[in-house]
Amino acid sequence: MNEEIRKHLTQDIIPFWEGLKDEEYGGFYGRLTMELELEKEAVKGVILNSRILWFFSNAYLLVKDKELLTYAGHAYHYLMDHCLDREEGGVFWSTRYDGSAEDTTKHTYNLAFSIYALSSYYDASKEEEALKTAFEIYRIIETRCTDSVGYLESFHRDFTPESNDKLSENGIIAEKTMNTLLHVFEAYTELYRVSKEEKVADRMRFLLDVFLEKVYNQELKRQEVFFDVNMNSILDLHSYGHDIETAWLMERGCEVLGDEKYRKAIRPVMAALADTIYKTAYHKSSVWNECCKGEIDKTRVWWVQAEAVLGFLNAYEKDPGHTEYLQAAKDIWGYIKEYIIDKRPGSEWLSEVDDNGMPTSKNKEIVEPWKCPYHNGRMCIEVLRREIELC
């Protein structure tokens, strides 16, 4: 067993996030600066809360420490009491520190992470209301956020469409994104795993078809990232982190789905994604961020390194002849220990470092609405579940 990984999970990541529990207003504090200053009145992102709920639920399922379930329950009750929109449905984008609604945007990406978290919490706690709520949000996505060629993304509180600036980058506004599609699939994988509802399986197959037909670029062996409403790519962008994350997440989804047709269709595509990242973006025992219009961003982002460990481990598991993938996973873990894990007491992982391993900016917080225990915590949990020695 990877005792080093287990130790990092149980002695570093878990205690850090336990320490962010807000005993006064509920949920978890939303911001810790690079200077390790805790901002107790910072906005609480609902994505952050959902990912914390997912993390503590899965940490409990792995470690079997009942104290972890109490932290998951704390995040669960915050979601149920403050993040759900009881009038219009779905969940808000963010709340203020005191639990009142801050940004009432409804976003398919955010809805998906609530399903993901609630499904895991149901598995951990057997709380029927969690599964019921997950299906209520699932129904909203399927009735309010879909069209014939994919998933619409950003809406006002009443689900009238608005600009998708929250999931758009690189100077464009995308009506649909690979990122949202991937995480809806991830959420439905977890919902199907705990419920075995065939209607969820049917939508997983739909998502796989969209991925194979619209998102995956057969010629370039990569995913396209940003799309118009008809799922036509609108930017030459190769997101290295999302590709290596997809390379294991979609394969796991097919395993949960148990559909041999889709498993066979997905396997060579996932192998191609991992191979392309290994040959194109894996340098200095780490993975670059992205390439936009031919210009490579060599920043090492925390979540990209975590997902690269899992993506390469998965590729090795599926084809043990590729021992270079196992070595890459081991080397990236070494890189994480050297450059990404913040050695200062009271900290966790740095958000990103440059090509020389130096933190890129004092404005990259240790905790903020997107910086969470989802990627690094999941890396530890998955490595331990798979029982492949990294250390």
Q: What is the pLDDT of residues 31-67, one digit of tens each?
A: 999 999 999 999 999 999 999 999 999 999 999 999 9
Start-to-end CA span in the chain (Å): 9
**In which band, very low, low, confident or very high, does the pLDDT at 363 lie, cut at 50, 70 and 90?**
low
3-386 classified as CATH 1.50.10.10: yes
Q: How far is CA 81 from the centre of its chain?
A: 23
Examine the pLDDT at 361 and tell me if it is beyond 80.
Answer: no
Contact 265, 257 (CB under 8 A): no
Q: What pLDDT was estimated at residue 299?
A: 96
Average pLDDT, the chain: 97
Asked whether 97 and 165 are in contact (CB, 8 A), the reply is: no
Residue in 118, 122, 119, 246 with CA at minimum distance from that of residue 177? 246
* Confidence grade of residue 360 (pLDDT, cut at 50, 70, 90): confident
Structure confidence by residue, pLDDT tens digits, 126-140: 999 999 999 999 999
Q: Residue 12 has what pLDDT?
A: 98
Residue 343, pLDDT above cutoff 60: yes
pTM for the complete prediction?
A: 0.97
**Res 146 pLDDT > 70:** yes
